[in-house]
Amino acid sequence: MACRICSGRLHRFADFGRQPVSDAFVLPGDTGEEFFFDLAVGVCESCAMVQLLQEVPRERMFHEGYPYLSSGSAVMREHFRSLAGRLLATELAGPDPFIVELGCNDGTMLATIAAAGVRHLGVEPSGGVADLAAARGVRVRKDFFEAATAASILAFDGPADVVYAANTLCHIPYLDSIMKGVATLLRPGGVFVFEDPYLGDILERASFDQIYDEHFYLFSATSVRELARRHGFELVDVERLPVHGGEVRYTLARRGARTPSPAVGELLAAEEAGALAGPQTLRDFAGRVEGIRDRLVDLLTGLRARGAMVYGYGATAKSATVLNYCGIGPGLVSRICDSTPAKQGRLTPGSHIPVRGPEAFAAPYPDYALLFAWNHAEEIMAKETAFRDAGGTWILYVPDVHLV
Ligand code: SAM
Ligand code: TMP
Ligand code: ZN
């Protein structure tokens, strides 16, 4: 197996077995037609990029029925509103600025840009969510971004001041084509800004559910610096973000165009000092993951034996890895409540647990709720205080199995 970035040798360090497409929520009658792949993850011995060993064809993941909505969390809506405001005040403050967002989803971020009257384009292959973006006044192109898309955007709209992507770049195995596209589209002084789950946080919290089909790469400053270098770019800023369980926002500029901020050197030094992607760190991670799996299954099995009712909360893409790796089905978790319309009335992929709306959480409350959307814990627990008031207990499994 060769690295998708540099063709270096990959060292496999964790294996989650046979897994379904994480966002392929299935209709009760269609459970015989699911697609499965082998979910294992490795690190490149040359460029340190952590990546999946098998790729799921992109059309199986991102299509008309892709259910995920960026607007599903109030915290994320505020996160994107604030980022848009910052871009408008800085990179987009010049004459006739232009921003392109890859994976704009339902337009949560670009809606603020559109409202400011600034030229923009969202590139979004998933038709259903792209329609939602268009309905809120965002200009969107239904397409996968890649080198050819960039050339046609450039021909029509001219160069971009900013190319931005949140929780999208790490979804794309073909980064060579993406980086070529960004190099084509960006004006000489422009920036490529992207934010994705941070390898450092994933290893520290043993949040193994961040590993699933859509998360093809787990980035670090070290691996992103090398990715940038190979395409004539330079990593000029990094910012740690608290959202989605810990992310980093990377800013790339053409080599020599900007002076890197001190934060870049600091994060690179911390990754080196902590041997971030070193063999011992990765072995420790794999060991912790097995322990979490065993403790979670023991807990749920014990609760079932005592006749306790357990629901899940948040039918996240992340939950596919937990459910299918741990072998948890409707016998242990009888339903999962989730606010996303396109997930409700369906079954979780592979594990076939019914997904219901949030109103089904209180009807009546279960004894325990397994919080799959642990990255939104504060927001969800604040909304569902009546659950604990009624005697309910939350179960979390990051950074280890515990009750709240
Ligand atoms: N940016 C949003 C956010 O952070 O909430 C959406 C993130 S969602 C997890 C990933 C999005 O990337 C999906 O809407 C998917 O359709 C889109 N996507 C996947 N491959 C893409 C590509 N090659 N170009 C543009 N968007 C892509
Ligand atoms: P994410 O962790 O990938 O953002 O997915 C979060 C899932 O949890 C998504 O399906 C929406 C759901 N959710 C709720 O059901 N209620 C909530 O209050 C929040 C914030 C998310
Ligand atoms: Zn490599």
**From the CB of 243, is ligand 2 less than 6 Å away?**
no
Report the pLDDT value the prediction gives residue 44, as an integer from 0 to 100.
98
Residue 1 structure tokens: 């197996």
Tell me the average pLDDT across 275-296.
97
**From the CB of 22, is ligand 1 less than 6 Å away?**
no
* Mutate which of 62, 113, 145, 180 for ligand 1 pocket (most atoms within 8 A of beta carbon): 62
By alpha-carbon position, which residue is closest to atom 21 of ligand 1? 144
The tens digit of pLDDT for each residue in 21-77 reads 999 999 999 999 999 999 999 999 999 999 999 999 999 999 999 999 999 999 999
The tens digit of pLDDT for each residue in 99-108 reads 999 999 999 9
Tell me, yes or no, if the pTM score tops 0.90.
yes
Tell me the average pLDDT across 91-111.
98
Residue written as tokens 């190979």? 230
**From the CB of 80, is ligand 1 less than 6 Å away?**
no
Tell me the average pLDDT across 178-199.
98
- Give the CA count within 13 Å in the CB-facing half-sphere of 139: 13
**Would you give the DSSP letter of residue 9?**
B
Ligand 1 center–CA 258 separation, angstroms: 28
Report the pLDDT value the prediction gives residue 213, as an integer from 0 to 100.
98
pLDDT at 1 over 90: no
Report the pLDDT value the prediction gives residue 69, as an integer from 0 to 100.
98
Confidence of residue 363 (pLDDT cuts 50, 70, 90): confident
Ligand 1 center–CA 173 separation, angstroms: 13
Is the distance from CB of 4 to CB of 56 less than 8 angstroms? no
**From the CB of 102, is ligand 1 less than 6 Å away?**
yes
Quick one: which atom of ligand 1 is closest to the CA of 165? 1
pLDDT at 194 over 90: yes
Ligand 3 center–CA 117 separation, angstroms: 41
pLDDT at 111 over 90: yes
Whole-angstrom CA distances from 370 to 315, 361, 374, 402 are 11, 12, 9, 10
**How far is Cα 207 from Cα 218, in angstroms, rounded to an integer?**
12
Report the pLDDT value the prediction gives residue 178, as an integer from 0 to 100.
98
pLDDT at 298 over 90: yes
Ligand 3 center–CA 400 separation, angstroms: 31
**For the chain, percent of residues with pLDDT exceeding 70:** 100
**From the CB of 194, is ligand 1 less than 6 Å away?**
no
pLDDT at 283 over 90: yes
**From the CB of 66, is ligand 1 less than 6 Å away?**
yes
Report the pLDDT value the prediction gives residue 26, as an integer from 0 to 100.
98
Report the pLDDT value the prediction gives residue 303, as an integer from 0 to 100.
98
Q: Provide the 3-class DSSP secondary structure of residue 384.
A: coil
Q: Could you give the ipTM of this predicted complex?
A: 0.99
Tell me the average pLDDT across 385-404.
98
Report the pLDDT value the prediction gives residue 321, as an integer from 0 to 100.
99
**From the CB of 317, is ligand 2 less than 6 Å away?**
yes
Ligand 1 center–CA 376 separation, angstroms: 19
